Structure 1
Amino acid sequence: MSAQKIYILGGYQSDFAKNIARENLSVADLFIETVRSGLAASELDAGEINVGHVGNFVSSLFSGQAQLGGFFGHVDPAMCYMPASTHEAACASGSMALLAAMADLEAGRYQTACVLGIELMRNVSGDQAAANLRPAAWASQEWTETDYVWPCAFDNMLGLYEERYGLKKEYLYNISQQNFASARRNSNAQTRRWQFTENSFSDDDLANPIISGNIRKQDCGQTTDGAAVVFLATEAKAAEYAARRGISLSAIPTIKGWGHINAPISFKEKLCLSEPDGYIFPHIHSLFQQTLKRAGMNDLSAINGLEVHDCFNITEYMILDHSGLYPPGKAWQAIENGDIGRGGKLPVNMSGGLIGLGHPVGATGVRMLLDSYKQIIGGAGDYQIDNAQNVMTFNLGGSATTCASFIVGKSDT
């Protein structure tokens, strides 16, 4: 359990369909606009925020701009001298920023924190974007024979499942189809207006071209410009905030549980740790367990929804396979039984996920937490989960090297 309760006061997400460079804007513009909009949406003054944490992977490569924490000083004069830091863990960068902010509040250093996740990625060519993302793997040692590291890496993961369990590709297409369908209900989703044909989720080389090995276009998450921000507070500050707004403290969602685990950066080394007759990545199952335990929960029966890291559909499948919902190798049952769909017993990625909503790398962990918050307050609009009491996130970086998870719910449920 956390040393003390950490409350989520609100937040904001940019429109992931926007191409920032085409609008003649910069990563600084995206940063400033997102934080300002988040403050307004949360009914907070800039002067109330004590510390800032930024999740970002490779702004210095995509935009030529580092030292992102310095942009808080341009959001509002009240933030001019606010302490801030930036955190990097590939696609889990946003979650690392959240954990650092929580630690600040739990230690009593500060009462409130602004956590921003941000990435600008669509301002370069596809080849350059792929090169910029290579360092999330062991750049000099892994998949050096290809320019497209991540489709190749997750094709290797798909191959593992096919070899060990005989995975049918139709289940992966089902995941993508569901996430694109969910994205159509999300007004911030990058793909909300995309159109598909009956062959888009098939082995049709024209409608769904091969990217690498068995990875095809609709198997992939998106290259996205975007940012998300949340505001965290201690119980004392949250009580002040609740009183000011005329609501009960118990109406404000809290982070009820969290998990954080790392594995060797080498994909081959991870496989050496695999259980021959069990989990391919035991550390991922351990992360589910530690997160649930910190929330005082025994299993997923108390969780009403998941926001998980579907950088590829095989990634979502792999995370489900390690969740404990079904025995190892049986995650296909969750798909076949409709468990993870809208109205199922454990809806997954109702936001659209990384495939449908979009994947600005450094923003994803923060965006997941924000969407969990929206579900708990009943503010998710057309993708709302009925009677959501507890929602869990699962965010990973690299080939499942850095993994983090949070459970968001109201303090009295």
Structure 2
Amino acid sequence: MNNTVYILGGHQTDFARNWYREGLEIFDLFKETLEQGLHATGIDAADVEAAHVGNFTAELFCNQGHLGGFFAEANPKMAGIATGRHEAACASSSIAMMAASAEIEAGRYGLVAVLGIEIMRNVPGDQAALNIGGPAMWAGHECQDIKYPWPHMFSTLGQEYQRRYGLKYEHLAGIADINFANARKNPNSQTRKWAFTPESFTENDEANPVIDGIIRRQDCGQVTDGAAIVFLANERTAEKYAKQHNIALSDIPRIKGWGHRTAAISYASKIAEGTTTNSPYIFPHVHAAIQDALGRAGCKDVFDLDAIETHDCFTTTEYMAIDHFGITAPGESWKAVEDGTISMTGRLPINPSGGLIGLGHPVGATGARMVLDAYKQVTGAAGDYQVDGAKNVGTLNIGGSATTTVSLVIGTGE
């Protein structure tokens, strides 16, 4: 049995929209995303056999659970299909993607939808920080009496780099600068119209104020409303789709490799793992998940990829991703910032979309959005943020303080 998982396309919403201010709710976001995804791909809703939702905190922000029921509510043709909702903090829709892929590989279904969604801008900022703080870490045990739990947590990650290898703020600022610049080319990015000065990417306390520890304003991913949907298919369905759309099956992207690891929920436990095993990597399990994906895709190393969409909820997270992917030796991520390796015109561009910092971070949608952006890159459909000649793109999506890690390789051809 051929268990290749193909990606037929999808849709992403405009991450600059504030749905609450428009008088709309999470169902409106869900329905529009589904409708636009079906329209963009030319898929008939009646042909979708199963569907999965990735979402983190709809209960807290919207007083809404049971999101799998939205498919039939949004489109009566989907009544009766198998659905499920998945939660793994920021990796929620990546876990939905893994479940949908497994169903296709097992031969259960031939066409499966994955929709990631989050509404986060319908409450004040302090409340949003609380809603996405404790639930994704060890509630009641970590970041007690911390106003902004996640900036604090990922400042601690940067401080761990400082302790082990040394870290200069200018390299974190360089990451932010690249991602915001890439986002200006993305018509769906939350920050595409934002304006900055040179001081915005320095340790200037007025232009770039401290949020917590070493984390400053431009180091932070955005609080975002948004959704993304992708449609996964088995080979028989993909062949039929290719004939209908007069394209070659080899030109339809597929999931070439995957890695999925879960560590202990507390940050301290994860740091202890790297210390007690004498690993050169801050998070050995993150490095292992990436290597799993590259290995399953048949990549000899990371430079077999043409671009990467990585988790940059904070600049320190992307700094970690650089050496954990193997772009540099452990502790030397700064080199890839300084020499332009990760820039849009570099050897291996990171976050041509703008990433979580530039494009935006509707938590439950991020994993699906990464896969959709990888699809766009390898089909030459990314527009102004297209990486020339991209055929293989890697993703890295993490939940919590890297508790859940999912890495994928998306590509076309052999």
One of 359, 362, 370 as aligned partner of 1:360: 362
AA in 2 matched with 1:196 = F
CA distance in 2, matches of 1:296, 1:212: 41
Deviations along 1:260-301, whole A, 9 cap, x unmatched? Answer: 001101111111111446111111111111111111122112
AA in 2 matched with 1:29 = D
Query: In the alignment, which residue of structure 2 is the partner of 1:305?
Result: 307
Query: In the alignment, which residue of structure 1 is the partner of 2:280?
Result: 278
Comparing 317-326 and 254-263, the one that deviates more: 317-326
Query: In the alignment, which residue of structure 2 is the partner of 1:200?
Result: 200
SS at match of 1:273: helix
CA distance in 2, matches of 1:232, 1:209: 43
* Structure 1 residue 118 corresponds to structure 2 residue 120: no
SS at match of 1:256: strand
Query: In the alignment, which residue of structure 2 is the partner of 1:343?
Result: 345
**Unaligned stretches of 5+ in structure 1?**
none
* Structure 1 residue 406 corresponds to structure 2 residue 408: yes
SS at match of 2:268: helix
Query: In the alignment, which residue of structure 2 is the partner of 1:163?
Result: 163
Query: In the alignment, which residue of structure 1 is the partner of 2:140?
Result: 140
Q: Shift of the alpha carbon at 1:197? A: 1.1
CA distance in 2, matches of 1:194, 1:391: 27
AA in 2 matched with 1:189 = S
Query: In the alignment, which residue of structure 1 is the partner of 2:323?
Result: 321
SS at match of 1:193: coil
Deviations along 1:160-187, whole A, 9 cap, x unmatched? Answer: 1111111111000000001000000000
* Structure 1 residue 181 corresponds to structure 2 residue 181: yes
Query: In the alignment, which residue of structure 1 is the partner of 2:333?
Result: 331
CA distance in 2, matches of 1:126, 1:210: 16
Comparing 291-300 and 48-57, the one that deviates more: 291-300
CA distance in 2, matches of 1:139, 1:45: 43
AA in 2 matched with 1:101 = A
CA distance in 2, matches of 1:271, 1:76: 46
**Count, aligned residues:** 411
AA in 2 matched with 1:405 = S
Residues 257 and 408 in structure 2, CA contact (< 8 A), matched pair in contact too: yes
CA distance in 1, matches of 2:256, 2:243: 22
1:4-403 paired onto structure 2 within 5 Å = 4-134=3-133, 135-275=135-275, 276=278, 278-403=280-405
Structure 1 runs of 4+ off > 3 angstroms?
Answer: none
CA distance in 2, matches of 1:3, 1:395: 27
Comparing 368-377 and 157-166, the one that deviates more: 157-166
SS at match of 1:274: helix
Q: Shift of the alpha carbon at 1:147? A: 2.4
Q: TM-score, structure 2 length as denominator?
A: 0.98
CA distance in 2, matches of 1:295, 1:3: 16
CA distance in 2, matches of 1:398, 1:259: 17
CA distance in 2, matches of 1:378, 1:198: 32
Q: Shift of the alpha carbon at 1:3? A: 6.2
SS at match of 1:200: helix
CA distance in 2, matches of 1:182, 1:269: 35
CA distance in 2, matches of 1:52, 1:404: 19
Q: TM-score, structure 1 length as denominator?
A: 0.98
Residues 26 and 119 in structure 2, CA contact (< 8 A), matched pair in contact too: yes
SS at match of 1:180: helix
Q: Shift of the alpha carbon at 1:81? A: 1.5
Residues 2 and 235 in structure 2, CA contact (< 8 A), matched pair in contact too: no
Residues 169 and 203 in structure 2, CA contact (< 8 A), matched pair in contact too: no
SS at match of 1:185: coil
Deviations along 1:203-262, whole A, 9 cap, x unmatched? Answer: 111111111111110010000000000000000000001111111111111110011001
**Unaligned stretches of 5+ in structure 2?**
none
AA in 1 matched with 2:358 = G
CA distance in 2, matches of 1:163, 1:92: 28
Identity fraction in percent: 54
SS at match of 2:292: helix
CA distance in 1, matches of 2:328, 2:177: 22
